[in-house]
Structure 1
């Protein structure tokens, strides 16, 4: 496959020279496309958008009727490649170029015309040269993947601290588990004295970590309360009808449109409910219900 990748990004004259050895697929390409992205596994990369350069080559099913029809709807538009890049950059913050490349390739291959996608992504601001990855994916590679599968809509349940500590906790969990929708439990901070730094970025992290301590405290009280931190874990749990407790740090910090403050656990629960298009948000405890919501809110 290494030679295929080299040829995919080679000069058109080299590709033309291969025609004598067999059929060569039609191709369209997007070259030297630059976009800004907040991406990277290192802490110093967070909050500092960097330039990414994309080179994409797509091999296509033959389209013999295109020459006669001159119909733009009959082809894979260059815009669809650029839109695939923009959509994945906007979906969530990622740590790895490899993950971004895989998702862009899948999105392109979901179109009807592509046979193979060659994709190179390079970071331009991380050193004296370009640091990047190259992948090739085919329609056959995607054959066993359900690209349209979506997780079911969950119920988000917010527990305040008295609810966590009550002897009736199991009863509350039983009631949630009896419903048809998967359940994601969200909690707030503990009742301990809150650490204050006076520095917004570090304060946000401390507030999220204090909520996660409370999530683990709830998990210790009932084996059904499995703490999860990533969207992948949440989607898996929802597809399998499991009840989980949300540890918010990763999803909140990686979100492009994340909440500004992490101090209010109920506000975070509402944000998650709207983000996941939840069936409803059920609030357990004597807390004030949010006034304006895009999902139904009710008190347990």
Structure 2
């Protein structure tokens, strides 16, 4: 497989010699495509961009070129769109993860047979640091039925709601409306200040997560989670959760501000990302959202009947 990967980026003549004259597939390729993006697992790579170079080769079914019909071939845009979509979806730590996701997107096209992806960081050392992978159409996972994806009710709890004597009763009522994900703002009290915007963002996120743990301490049904994998598992298994936002926010380009007063906007952004069925706000502040929105009075012991 290593030889296949190396040969994928060679001239067709070299591939033909290596194959002993056996038939080889047609290919389309993208060479030396450089994008400046924030990526990397190490702290010095956060909050700054670096140049990433992409080389992609896709083996394809031999098209019927007699019709000269662009709809019958695999477009070059399939490759560039796959790269752009994965870079936009979330901030990624590992080149291996990015390469695998790009290959999966490309292989979703019916014409694609095998995909070779080489990604290199150009600014991390004296040379190019990178990975190379090969994936085949046989590696494509079976797509899950979209109807099986849980659509949670997102609940925004104000600090007064967290401290309310009605909390246990509300959770009893919400337990009948699962899947439910609870969100909170920053804990009460002064949040430490930093002159560094990157440091301040993490401090603000930690203040929210402190509040998530305060809520968890009030009722054992409130399970604090911070990854999409944990959220999906909990929703599928009937577990109410409290969202700890650091990982998803830091890994998501375009995430909103996370200061204490921004809890409604953050909850609305998260609800949209989770494809929530509705958003329930218990407290004085309600987010601006296109989703169905229900307000609940924190002084009342009963929540609205819907959603």
Superposed displacement of residue 251, structure 1: 1.5
Contact 1:58 1:117 in 2 (8 A): yes
TM, length-normalised to structure 2: 0.89
In structure 2, C-alpha distance between the alignment counterparts of 1:240 and 1:80, rounded to whole Å: 36
What is the SS of the residue equivalent to 2:132?
A: strand
Aligned residues: 294
2:8 aligned partner? 8
Contact 1:61 1:115 in 2 (8 A): yes
Is 2:251 the partner of 1:254?
yes
Counterpart selection for 1:75 from 48, 53, 73: 73
Is 2:223 the partner of 1:226?
yes
Distance 1:218 1:260, change over 3 A: closer
2:202 aligned partner? 205
2:27 aligned partner? 27
1:113 aligned partner? 111
2:291 aligned partner? 295
In structure 2, C-alpha distance between the alignment counterparts of 1:241 and 1:70, rounded to whole Å: 53
Superposed displacement of residue 148, structure 1: 6.7
Contact 1:110 1:147 in 2 (8 A): no
1:271 aligned partner? 269
In structure 1, C-alpha distance between the alignment counterparts of 2:75 and 2:45, rounded to whole Å: 33
Superposed displacement of residue 30, structure 1: 1.0
Question: What's the CA shift string for 1:18-45, capped at 9, x where partnerless?
Answer: 4544221221111111111110111111
Superposed displacement of residue 242, structure 1: 3.1
In structure 1, C-alpha distance between the alignment counterparts of 2:164 and 2:256, rounded to whole Å: 29
Distance 1:202 1:216, change over 3 A: same
Is 2:214 the partner of 1:242?
no
Distance 1:22 1:240, change over 3 A: farther
In structure 1, C-alpha distance between the alignment counterparts of 2:195 and 2:32, rounded to whole Å: 43
In structure 2, C-alpha distance between the alignment counterparts of 1:198 and 1:41, rounded to whole Å: 23
Structure 2 portions without partners, runs of 5+: 297-307
Contact 1:277 1:295 in 2 (8 A): no
What is the SS of the residue equivalent to 1:127?
A: coil
Is 2:46 the partner of 1:46?
yes
Structure 1 portions without partners, runs of 5+: none
What is the SS of the residue equivalent to 2:151?
A: coil
Question: What's the CA shift string for 1:68-112, capped at 9, x where partnerless?
Answer: 111110010111111100111111111111111111011011111
Distance 1:239 1:110, change over 3 A: farther
Distance 1:252 1:98, change over 3 A: same
TM, length-normalised to structure 1: 0.91
1:57 aligned partner? 57
In structure 2, C-alpha distance between the alignment counterparts of 1:79 and 1:148, rounded to whole Å: 27
In structure 2, C-alpha distance between the alignment counterparts of 1:174 and 1:106, rounded to whole Å: 42
In structure 2, C-alpha distance between the alignment counterparts of 1:138 and 1:231, rounded to whole Å: 27
Contact 1:18 1:24 in 2 (8 A): no
Question: What's the CA shift string for 1:118-165, capped at 9, x where partnerless?
Answer: 1110000111100001111111112x4426757332211011223223
